Copies of this chain bind each other. A is one copy, B any other.
């Protein structure tokens, strides 16, 4: 209960999954440009992540920042991701250095590497295919949103190398509540359950590391992202697997 964690983009889906899972484990300060949709007992700052001063102020006495804020739309236009995602993320890293915060956990995205799928789909979404991305590959974004997430990773690398900031970039897959996406092989391959999401971010807060890029997905049979780095360095132990859901959203059988 001692660590104070600043959560930017707290009102987004990832933020909600994190708070649902580990909301009791830390002293949270929530930050979002929209006010809370429901009444909240958490400290809550309404401000924009591109506002240097507001971001610096929000970091007072903070131990770790989970930086989830940004335009989350894969189809977001360039001007928005340039400002909200690239410039906003740089604002967060810079404020962390200026205020003495040691660690930033950055919500990156599967869209940073989406074009690796182009020549391999749909086979790579299936269990028999053992192709894996492991986080050492160069970005191949599938959209400008993905470009902005890759830029946020590179900024993190710079702030780690230059200023000693501990940075984990989590390339989040397809986060859905309750069960995996239905009739969507890609979504089943990169599914991230709510509880695995919360656990993974808890590991990003707790583990020892310098700079890491990890994939944020459950332990899906269909996966084409390696979980080795998240397991080895962070101690991530996913509980879910999209193949185990046999409700209406039953994954298709492998061919």
Contacts and interface: CB of A to CB of B under 8 A. Distances in A.
Interface in A144-176: 144, 146-147, 150-151, 154-155, 157-158, 161-162
A78 interface: yes
Residue in A82, A94, A115, A138 whose Cβ sees the most chain B Cβ within 10 Å: A138
Given A78-B90, A90-B78, A147 B158 contact: yes
Residues of A contacting B: mostly: helix
A87 to B, nearest CB: 6
A118 B161 contact: yes
A82 B78 contact: no
A82 B50 CA distance: 13
Contacts of A136: 138
Contacts of A154: 138-139, 141, 147, 150-151, 154
A54 to B, nearest CB: 17
9 contacts: A115-B158, A115-B161, A136-B138, A138-B157, A139-B154, A139-B157, A140-B158, A147-B154, A150-B154
